[in-house]
Amino acid sequence: MNQASPVLVVIDAQNGFLTEHSRPVVPTIVDLVQRWQAAGGATIFTRYLNFPGSQYERIMGWTKLQESPETDLVDELSPYHEKATAVVDKTIYTLFNEAGSAVVAEHEWTDLYICGIDTNSCVLKTAVDAFERDLTPWIVVDACASHSGPEAHDAGLLVARKFIGESQLIASQAVPIHA
């Protein structure tokens, strides 16, 4: 059996996803990232980039996150994403576009500790895609939120329990961080 090789994945903690529902999770994400990086852990940040004519615009009528400052990572994470192993820009829900898949394979990460915004879409899709790639996804529930509100967050967690298993949803204080 291969030894676990963990990475912390911070999904779309961007200005354009901050609302009264998602903003309160930022300090928890910052604390987790700070502790993880202080212990020497690898970190990936993702940035969702929408574009004119995208499926999100064409089908859903959603036109946000097409330019700065909406696409920028939140200021509180600036000192940490500069130290990240990778920052992956994506135009889809999941980390696992070509660049994200390549960086995970290159570093041979096996365990993905996933936090960020939105629990019900990009966090959930990344966790399920990791599961289907024979990786071990962990959703850090108190370091995730949905800009749409607690109902969407809770729905994402409900579906995640069915897709990847109840035991894969953990609190930030339960994330194994070793100095």
Query: Which CATH number characterizes residue 167's domain?
Result: 3.40.50.850
What residues contact residue 64 under an 8 Å CB cut-off, 6+ apart?
16, 50, 70
State which amino acid sits at residue 140: V
1, part of any domain? no
Q: Where are the alpha helices (DSSP H) in the chain?
A: 26-38, 55-58, 78-81, 98-107, 124-132, 150-164
What residues make up the domain containing 87? 6-174
pLDDT band per the 50, 70, 90 thresholds, residue 1? very low
CA distance 116 to 118: 6
User: Binning pLDDT at 50, 70 and 90, where does residue 4 land?
Assistant: confident
Tokens 């629990």 -> residue? 119
Number of domains the chain contains:
1
Considering the domain boundaries, does residue 179 fall inside one? no
pTM: 0.96
Average pLDDT over residues 59-73: 96
Q: In sequence order, which residues have a C-beta less than 8 Å from that of residue 23 and are 6 or more positions away?
A: none
